[in-house]
Structure 1
Amino acid sequence: MRNLPHPIQYQGSKRNLAPIILKYFPQKVRRVVEPFAGTAAISIAAAAKQIARQFWLNDINKSLIKLIEIIIESPDEISGLYSKIWREQHNDSVEHYYQIREMFNRTHDPEFFLYLMARCAKGSVRYNAEGLFNQSPDKRRKGTRPEKMEKNIFGVSFLLKGKCTFSDTDYKKVLQCVAPNDLVYMDPPYQGVCGERDSRYYAGIAFDDFVVALDELNKKGISFIVSYDGRRGTKSFGNPLPDFLNLTKIEIEAGRSSQATLLGRDEITVESLYLSPALLENSPKKQNGYFETGYKTEQFLLS
């Protein structure tokens, strides 16, 4: 699955973890719902595996979800616009980046956003307190070449075009509309192993509200998977979800982080998945006794 198309290099994306996350998906579902879709890495992987024929991609970041929609539904348009912006880079390509950033903050046009994400430092989307994109450019490169970008855009469109619903609403409104034959995958902000404020979003989510929303999903018999807390070395990040939700916790060993490697530290990054009771009820893994001895640790080393 490493050859799956991904036009956007997005810090926090579950692209590399998608193969192991999909191990806990049912073989077939009516629809995959992502209330915190980001760049839709899980839906792209699920579409490639033909797990579902319908997808609901939601993200409170309106510019991001609009870009994802155009990539999927209008690949010719967005790849052409990206190529034009990329080829307009001149000798002072850093100044060009700042000009595009200023234009994006005024207009929120998706083609500007795509260029910024392809060129920004570490693929790391950042906003300031006023909600303006403020990440600096990667001065060592000029961003993805148009030919490669076009290939990735058309690859994603091939997998998802005509199969998606797009929205930019609050996640709780999405969860109110899901059905028992959906599979909900959630990777909410302000959790995970970064241990810092998630600047990809203007605001986070309240932990207590999120727990209440998960409890409501359980009461309705909804199948869901949550990527939430984690740890790096001996340091833990994020609040673990409470026991009364009756979720099964899976720990994924994702290898050493790039930061730990640079610092010469032998720190393993571990990310947590929580699986809902409804998901496990008909899981072949449960029927084979896989979950009978408590939560599991999976090893998945990133190359």
Structure 2
Amino acid sequence: MKIYIYILITLLILGCKPEKKSGNEKLQVVTTTTMITDLVKNIGGNKLEVQGLMGAGVDPHLYKASEGDVGKLFNADVIVYNGLHLEGKLEEVFEKMRHQNKKTIAVADAVDKDKLIGSEYFASNYDPHIWFDISNWELITESLVKQLSELDPKNAATYKENGTQYLKKLAALKTNIGEKIEVIPVEKRVLVTAHDAFNYFGKAYDFNVVGLQGLSTATEAGVKDVQKMAAFIIDNNVKAIFVESSVPKRTVEALQEAVKSKGHEIVIGGTLYSDALGNEGTPEGTYLGMYKHNVERIVNSL
């Protein structure tokens, strides 16, 4: 990994030449995850040129920048990323670029530490999947509006208006989601998924969240993990388990077979979007649509 980081940083410094910009050109923003790309586009509208590094189904825990990505990062006016070591293999790159006076924004910085969920599995010591609490996403929206306005004052009014409208949509989503989840008795709110990405969702809506692979997808679940989870499912009479769009489904299928081998039935309740949105141009390709999709799958299955 260190060799990879060294090569990438070297390319950034020596292999690319920044493009000169006129005063009339749009602010060039490079984003990492699809959730952040969607948010920045909602705030920026047609006033920003936004390039997302990661597409639908891409796992940010394991993502490596391509040569083309290196050029995008080097020529960006600002880089917006999640932080809390979600983009593990890129974290040192962002740190190096900060030392070279490249403007970088870690959206997680907008969330107070007391609102973060602790984790011993990340170097940050916090669970990085902050977008699954809509309240966090509201804080992040407000922070991005402020920071983009400071970077691009001539379009500040647009960012503020777009941000206000998006915050209204987030508030409506929060109300809608809360009403849907109310139909599930609290004792039935057990969410079993491929990896432990939904703790913020669980905390917000009283779910017991259990993931086969823990918080990161860097290490696959082993046979003991599957057997332990199968026992948990049987003991708690869980009705459904879920695969994730950015994680191979084989471990969840193995879990289903392990439960069945013990004489119990368990269904796969469908695919949830965890570390990436759906395909661009679909409802699930937006944060709002992704969240609605996930909750509908969970409610219908549990």
- Per the TM superposition, whether the score is higher than 0.5 is no
Question: Normalising by structure 2, what TM-score?
Answer: 0.29
Larger helix percent: 2
Larger strand percent: 1
